[in-house]
Structure 1
């Protein structure tokens, strides 16, 4: 099947299912789906039978028993929602005014040309779904924020389906960052009901629509539960590659088992690292580990150096050069007031430098993901 046919069919199915922001949620899943067998690595193709192994394949659920539809749970407690302030623009009004004055002549031409080049990288066509895994060496360094930024950029530039998949069940913030008001079905729920006979219009009924486009599959319903296991992760990611051109995975932190599996099996990898000396040092250890994998993992790895403060003292140029010695690419994401405030990420509220950095990161990750066969 050609890439154009697949994208056309996918979009046609979406248009027939009604508005993308309001997919219908099935009250019951397909009856007794038969689990497919595991294929050789890399043999999955868009539209081919879905390779899977998971709770269903392992016989952990009796297919004769109905699946209980989970209750919808708000991502933020309604009692707390009223305390959230108005989102700040990433750039102050004074900074935006100064930039408007400087936007003259050749600088505008160069910026437009660079933006066009990056957009073309992000829009590269695919014939099989690409998986981009995002992880970090510890929590709180912007892993979910980077995942949300990538999802926003891909949805902005691409016309084919994009999925943000949360693979960190430990009270992850990805649903909040993508503006989801509530969540229902989780990765573990979906792993039990996925079937090769399901169409894209069936699958999106179990997902959360994202306001600016695309879909979200959360890891949990916002409470502390059992961690996502490797078998469930593989079942869901291998199956959903049929339906989505790009899947951005918010993994648990390293050295978690699912994170290591995701980094080993993804088409491209993004390591979120804090813009600190210890963060760079720890990330170098991760890159050295990736260099020991049996395939060329570093060639498809991008480090996202994230600033959590406007007063960063790290020599970013020197730190980036240190990380690039391994063969990985490095993209710096500057401090942004909009990102620092928490809550949903809105494209229009991002600072100019942040938006450009996020687009660069998406282009670097997509170029590497497409190179993997």
Structure 2
């Protein structure tokens, strides 16, 4: 594969060059059976031959000789509860939206255009191999899946090559709901048993959930309580899928889970979601200190999303961001947004302007580190 070339076309060409079994040109006539050899009655009868033994399949292991059954499609939200989601509301109030429109008419847009051009250039960087961006946090409920969905939608909007958002948190994660998936069927554990090097992109996407705004989604499960994802499944799936997708955003479990530690150690870039509280910022700083001890440049390829879950946050944002930047990472503040706080599917057009801008900056920071930091 050449540097700077069309990596997706090269992958498909490699797959097309894989030798396949010769196709049958027509029905094959069965050969007549051989007549049995004559038996001499003067000779003793030969002893019976034992049947060839069948290799036993360990308990709990799928027999590879049997096809994998197609799982049942399961809705991401119980239909009895779906009507209770209510009507989505805008992240900005009507007054804020009106004021922003007036400011556009009275101010120069030159600086905004320059910044947007720079961010778009960072987001659209060409890649020769798929880049994995892992998202995690110190605990659940701080917006990790929300940030993963925002990143996935942002990359889908700006890039023209395939983008995958992968859920690696089987603990009843909310990523499929945030991405707007109405139902899920295949999971990471299912694909770990199916993926083969001979599969093409069109084969792989048949097991994924298409996202309304573009891109693809692979859930960790079907929204049921079950066994958590193991490290082997995570490695198998991510290593196999990265050849088909330019960017893969991984919604990991919270630290210090085994899959989260593995993802943070092996990803090209990392995003740590920090709640905008004193204890949240302090715990995130401990995670950054741990990343600094990894044998490669993990800290240099890390960005922090400082997320506000309430409009009444009392923690000083500048002080918190400065404390995190002392570790040597980029910090992007994600403001409180009424649309995100409402829950349910994320509609990009209904996000607050500050939230959309922060999502683009965070995605650009992550992509910059995934491509240029070694």
d(CA) in 1 for partners of 2:325, 2:62: 47
Structure 2 counterpart of 1:21 = none
How big is the shift at 1:100?
Answer: 1.3
Count, aligned residues: 328
How big is the shift at 1:8?
Answer: 5.2
How big is the shift at 1:176?
Answer: 0.1
d(CA) in 1 for partners of 2:156, 2:9: 16
d(CA) in 2 for partners of 1:372, 1:215: 26
d(CA) in 1 for partners of 2:93, 2:208: 36
- Cα RMSD, aligned residues only: 1.7
- State the Cα deviation string for residues 178-229 of structure 1 (Å, max 9, x = none): 0000000000000001100000000000000000000000000010110000
Structure 2 counterpart of 1:266 = 267
How big is the shift at 1:104?
Answer: 4.0
Structure 2 counterpart of 1:330 = 331
Q: How does 1:77-96 map to 2 (within 5 A)?
A: 77-96=78-97
- State the Cα deviation string for residues 62-119 of structure 1 (Å, max 9, x = none): 3211101100000000000011111111111110111111124654221121111111
Gaps of 5+ in 2: 14-59
Q: Give the TM-score of the pair, scaled to structure 1.
A: 0.85
Q: Give the TM-score of the pair, scaled to structure 2.
A: 0.85
Structure 2 counterpart of 1:344 = 345
Secondary structure of 1:342's partner?
A: coil
d(CA) in 1 for partners of 2:89, 2:113: 26
State whether residues 91 and 352 of structure 2, in contact with CA within 8 Å, keep that contact through their aligned partners in structure 1. Answer: yes
State whether residues 10 and 200 of structure 1, in contact with CA within 8 Å, keep that contact through their aligned partners in structure 2. Answer: no
Residues 104-113 or 310-319, more deviating = 104-113
d(CA) in 1 for partners of 2:114, 2:105: 14
d(CA) in 1 for partners of 2:6, 2:166: 25
d(CA) in 2 for partners of 1:326, 1:293: 14
Secondary structure of 1:197's partner?
A: coil
State the structure with more CA Rg: 2
d(CA) in 2 for partners of 1:309, 1:109: 33
d(CA) in 2 for partners of 1:195, 1:62: 17
Structure 1 counterpart of 2:146 = 145
Secondary structure of 1:368's partner?
A: helix
Runs of at least 4 residues of structure 1 off by over 6 A? 9-12
State whether residues 137 and 254 of structure 1, in contact with CA within 8 Å, keep that contact through their aligned partners in structure 2. Answer: yes
d(CA) in 1 for partners of 2:204, 2:365: 29
Structure 1 counterpart of 2:303 = 302
Residues 94-103 or 74-83, more deviating = 94-103
d(CA) in 1 for partners of 2:146, 2:367: 18
How big is the shift at 1:7?
Answer: 4.1
How big is the shift at 1:254?
Answer: 0.3
Q: How does 1:131-210 map to 2 (within 5 A)?
A: 131-210=132-211
State whether residues 230 and 261 of structure 1, in contact with CA within 8 Å, keep that contact through their aligned partners in structure 2. Answer: yes
